[in-house]
Amino acid sequence: MAILFLCPSKDPIPWQHAIARYDPNIEVRVWPEYGDPSDITFALLWNHPRASIKPFQNLMAISSLGAGIDHINNDPAIPKHLPIARIVDPGLVQSMSEYVLMAALQLFRQSKGYERLQQQTEWQPLSPRQIADFPVGIMGMGQLGHDAAKKLSAVGFSVIGWSQSRKDYPALSHSFAGEAELAAFLAATRILVCLLPLTRKTRGILNASLFDKLQHDSYLINVARGAHLVESDLLGALNAGQLKGAYLDVFEEEPLRSDHPFWQHPSITITPHIASITNPQTAAKQIVENYHRAMRGESLLHRVDLEKGY
Ligand code: NDP
Ligand code: OXD
């Protein structure tokens, strides 16, 4: 019995050390040097090559190495009967909230405008703004969205949320639920944060028709998945002045091509999918726990519903 580390873009060594700290008897094999595939009973996946899971016939469970599972759900070779878990970790939550707070404050306080003025050595105050005029709307009120709402409201933003089911969270001034309430949510939003999982229903949701429903001079922060956004529609909305700026951590194609128009756009800030990176030190404990649960045939922590897609 062994765990397969099938995460080509990640360094396996910190994961091997962190897993050994919780259980030194677990063997972790790193794809593609996995030896006899029949030894593999549990797999850790992150942006794995499609169908690379096929040789492992004795798998009893799979865990994503992150919060999202779209890379697993989008691979038809993943056996449908296997339980799939994801990472739910206070470190991941904290790091995402830091990012969302940073982006919302930078957009609201016009940091791009002041960077430009500094480059031109110009001492030129821009019109001051009131935080009350910048309500933040968060799409996705899950582990990450809820904590971001708490931290944004603690610094003075008015925060509203949109999710499948209505929430009763003190950090929200209003909770919107379902497609029927999306337009009302957007009409009350000036800084839109996407923290949705990527599913059949949410792919391409950040599009021209959605941008049209936002308040004028709104901003977008996309920290969920690149495929939530129709990239050409964002450029259209920015160039038409409907949107004032965007802060993007995720892209349809990663790494972002060097000739992609987002790089040079004066109203777009780009980071290379670093909003919140799973930390082996904090996340390994639940992986070890899930490995043992799977081997005993017990239900997994943070199991996802593949039909729902999250
Ligand atoms: P959760 O599963 O905890 O929360 C998902 C939320 O989205 C829930 O509130 C759910 O509603 C809502 N939702 C799902 N589908 C819909 C829909 N069709 N309409 C309205 N609301 C919907 O996820 P997390 O908060 O843990 O993570 C969210 C995403 O963030 C991940 O899937 C991942 O893609 C991304 N991420 C990005 C990172 C980065 O570094 N850029 C790092 C980590 C995660 P309900 O509560 O009613 O079920
Ligand atoms: C995640 C991510 O889903 O890092 O955890 O994107």
Token code pair at residue 264: 């040079």
**pLDDT at position 166:** 98
Nearest ligand atom owner, CA of 279: 2
101/287 Cα distance (integer angstroms): 29
Average pLDDT in the chain: 97
More confident residue, 306 or 88: 88
Average pLDDT over residues 36-44: 98
Report which bound ligand comes closest to the CA of 177: 1
Active-site residue set:
225, 273
Where residue 124 falls among pLDDT bands split at 50, 70, 90? very high
Tokens of 67: 């919060």
pLDDT (tens digit per residue) in 78-93: 998 999 999 999 999 9
Residue 163, ligand 1, Cβ within 6 A: yes
Nearest to 157 by CA among 188, 178, 194: 188
Q: What is the spatial order of strands in the sheet that 61-64 belongs to?
A: 28-30, 2-6, 40-45, 61-64, 84-85
Rounded to whole angstroms, how far apart are CA atoms 294 and 30? 20
Give the pair of three-digit tokens for residue 301: 């922590």
The rounded percent of the chain whose pLDDT value lies above 90 is 99
Ligand 1 pocket member 89 (CB < 6 A): no
Please confirm whether the linkage preceding 197 is cis (ω < 30° from 0). Answer: no
Tokens standing for residue 91: 């470190």
CA of residue 141 to ligand 1 center, whole Å = 7
Give nearest CA residue, ligand 2 atom 5. 66
Q: Tell whether pTM > 0.95.
A: yes
pLDDT tens by residue, 273-296:
999 999 999 999 999 999 999 999
- pLDDT tens digit string along 227-273? 999 999 999 999 999 999 999 999 999 999 999 999 999 999 999 99
